[in-house]
Structure 1
Amino acid sequence: MRGAKAGLLAMLLTLAAFSASVSADEDSRIVINDEIFSTSGPVWISVSCLKVGCPGMELVIWSDGVEESHEDPHLVEWSGWVEGNVSWQLLVDSGTEANDLSTEVILSRMDEWTEYTDLPNIVPSPGSQGEYPQINTTSPCQLHFCGAIDLLSEGVLYVGALENQSDKDAVMVVGDPGDVLLLNSLRGPSEIHIEIWQRGEESKSLLDTIERTEMGHYFEYPAQGELWIRLVHSAEEDYSPYEFEIIRYDDDSEAPNGGELSNPWNHGEALPFYGDSSLLYHGHLAASDSQGDSLLIASGAKMVLEPFCSFTDIVSVEIMLHQMDGSSLAVESGCAEEFETTEQTVSIEFGLTTQGKTAAWSI
């Protein structure tokens, strides 16, 4: 009997020791993220380790009643179509903190800008008619003012997915010649790039191919026909959600009262000088715009000014001081140095031109 009791005691001690060991292992795991959201469309969740390695890094997903787990010390990710709720946890061993990790999530924010029906694989043949999918967006921002705006984007954040190795997605972008467009971002788990196409009545042509590393990319709407963009990924990839941001700057709404900005200025009174409030004026030059843009800002006499000019490509700047008597004086230094207005200066005009380049400017 004593032997039986001794054996039972030994077994209990062994189980207790095993339980303590399991608890110690569990206690060493930390839940860094624990989130749930509701959506309809493609979803991608990716967490990468910014250190040499993050031991015990595990991504656990619950979607459509199914649990999935992915574990790797460097990168964990999950992709899928979600209808309803999806919840996820990120666990790591102790010693890894939130700032050691980089997290990216793609999910549908607006039904209008989500691929619910598979987009065409190719840009349609020239002249063919059909109900083709379109992206129609115009930036609400003009010079120094932005109207009511979805803070997520100045344009459209479009979410879709390439279903398999052979899937491609093509979509038409509404616009007119002279408009400037910006491909501002491209995200997803695979090596996706964007082709820019022109389609007319008699021909279609590939204008450019933009890699993810080339975002944001400014370009001009074609002089003839339609603009299409086409998303392509590497042949080795399977289901790949993507998100891209595209913004259209309509040249018909550049000026204060509508229409295209002229050079020289012919849009009425000078715009306000903001001084210490540090507000910027913004605009865009299309490659085909030979005249360029101008900006007329109210000024005063004997002011020492230091212009801050920023451009995404090579832009030439001419600065003129307009005087009370209607004459003008050139500022030879342009944006390079500070300058002083005269006793008669009432406004300052910036003339901006580019040689065959599409560029954004801010002053």
Structure 2
Amino acid sequence: MSDLDQFIAAFDVDDPAFIADPYPTLDALREATPIFWNEATGQWMLTRFNDVSAALKNRALGRDYTHRYTHEELGRSEPDQKWTKFHEHERWSLLCLEPPDHTRLRRLVSKVFTPSSIARLADPIAAISDELLDQCADAGTFDLLADYAQPYSVAVICSMLGVPRADTQLLLGWSHAIVKMYELSASDEVKQSADKAAGEYIDYTRALIADKRARPDGLLLSELVQVEDGGATLTEDEIISTTMVLVEAGHEATVNTLGNGFRALMAHRDQWDRVVQHDVTPASTVEELLRFDPPLQMFERWVLEADTEIAGQRVRVGDEIAMLFGAAQRDPRRFDKPAKFDVGRDDPGHIGFGGGIHFCIGAPLARQELIRSVEGIVSRFPDLRLVDEPTYHPTFVIRGLTGLTVATG
């Protein structure tokens, strides 16, 4: 067996050791080859930063293929009808669409999801953060995820959308169940839970839309109901998919960036001290949290055009390209000493928010949430320390901790 074959074999998303620290394997794969065929997943996998960045912008690739080909034409199975509610929730997701639907939908969403609307959230974000950090201070020892990051993230999104804060736990549970469907080895039990959650979430959102039509409040969901551009409006199904993906993607990204990032800060006390002593800005710190141990480890695209070449490899229409963000974000061709956790790197040119037409529409909001969290936690708890060594969820695509117990002194 060649070295490359051994590295590919080590890419085992069901191996607890790989999940605990995938970076040695990802590093070995990246240095061995820019692209490889993974027989286990049936995908071409990209490992290097420039190739991943180029693939994100390559219009010969797409997040979907059904706007150009049938499943039969590409030799692929129809979507499993057992999971109809999950597929319904994804049908109009910005993450899954291609032009012209993506162009139309993103333009309409962008008319209400504006820099000014996000700027208006600064005070509510600060208030939610302060409220939760007050509770953490009173406790002395707390779980940074369960007691702060999770309720903080979902409360911010709900305040933006106009979702009652009393319902945040409902949305949190649905989101956790649904996103597990994106893993490479999701079991039928996981898929069943995801489909059930998607159905309940769709019903909830449909009822909420009806309420916003009757009683508009000027918040994002209400604005999505009313938005118009050249006579074009959003359908109810499009609004449902849009609001659901904003909650799911925004919540999971913020929570896992804070969890993975503060784990790194606690493990690198010299870097923690730099933040505490204001040698680096919270904004610079956040960019390194997004790069070093990213919450999204893999993003896929389909080959849509013949005669396409990716990283020197000729690929066929219907092939799936999996971009390994964790490998790319530690590519020494792009980042100096990439294995070093350096909060002063101050490099926003990573791919933590994707790229191309699918660049995360919520990136400005996520950055604002994360910066406020770093500011608040560091100023209140300069002697923060880890109580227990945390463990990661047994998932690869979405990488996050099961908890992060810390003490304030």
* TM-score strictly above 0.5: no
Q: Which has the higher contact order (CA 8 A, sep 6+)?
A: 2
TM-score (norm 2): 0.20
Greater strand content: 1
Tell me which structure has the larger Cα radius of gyration. 1
